Amino acid sequence: MNEDGKATGSRGSGGSAGEQVPAYRLVGGIAGRRSGGWHALGSALARPSPDFVEELSSGRFLDEMATAVDWLGPERERFRADLATLASFTSQSAAMMPEETLRLVGDEHRRVVGKKARRASEIASYLADRCAEEQAAWQADEPERAKAIRVEERKVLELRIEEIRDCAARLGSSELGLYRAAAGILVGFAEIELGGPA
């Protein structure tokens, strides 16, 4: 099976309709993980807030990022170093007062990206919503609608990939592990969504 919902035992290969529905639900689960990844990236790119600091310090942000790439199999290895960097910063932030972490990440966000991150955050949030709609379509056994949404997601990424790369390059210059990790995950996530480096 792949993320377009093709699976051994599908109707085309002699499988029953009953065998196809679980495959759609499984690929819908993958769409849900992709949605979670884009949502987390959107939060990291946005202007830091107390809610984001709490997600970061509690480890939920790290968990969301790890879950978003866990389904990739061997390809998830490209994220190993960035996730390790993120885990280190998560431990650092957990040992700090929330207001101290907010000030630290807020100052760095303004320094390296500022308003330029807003558009990339909006793109990530939009894709999170579309992936959630795709998930719902797969799980409702509506593959044509799910595939149409997937095509739309790719078109948006193709149009906005340079904005994403520019934002990631700025984040990559950060002195904070949080933003260096986010830079690598952002580019890797976008390229995998498009089927590889463009």
Dump pLDDT digits (tens) for 133-183.
999 999 999 999 999 999 999 999 999 999 999 999 999 999 999 999 999
How many Å separate Cα 52 from the centre of its chain? 15
Report how far residue 184's alpha carbon sits from residue 189's, in angstroms, rounded to the nearest whole number.
8
Residue 5 lies in a domain: no
E-only strand ranges, 85-135: none
Q: Please tell me the total number of residues recorded for the chain in this structure.
A: 198
Task: Tell me the CB-side half-sphere exposure of residue 67, using CA atoms within 13 A.
Answer: 19
Question: Is residue 10 very low, low, confident or very high in pLDDT (cuts 50, 70, 90)?
Answer: very low
How far is residue 15's CA from residue 156's CA, in Å, rounded to a whole number?
34
| Residue 56, domain extent | 27-193
Give a yes or no: residue 13 inside a domain: no
pLDDT tens column, 73-123: 888 899 999 999 999 999 999 999 999 999 999 999 999 988 778 888 999
Q: Is residue 158 included in any domain, yes or no?
A: yes
Number of independent structural domains in the chain: 1
CB 177 within 8 A of CB 85: yes
Helices (H), the chain: 17-45, 50-58, 60-70, 80-94, 98-112, 116-139, 143-172, 177-193
Residue 159 maps to a domain:
yes
Could you tell me if residue 114 is inside a domain? yes
Spatial contact of 45 and 120, defined as CB atoms under 8 Å apart: yes
* Cα–Cα dist 170/182, whole Å: 11
Q: Residue 13 pLDDT > 50, yes or no? A: no
Handedness of CA 72, 75, 78, 80 (dihedral sign): positive
pTM (2 d.p.): 0.84
Residue 145, token pair as written in the block: 């609608």
Residue 46 three-state SS: coil
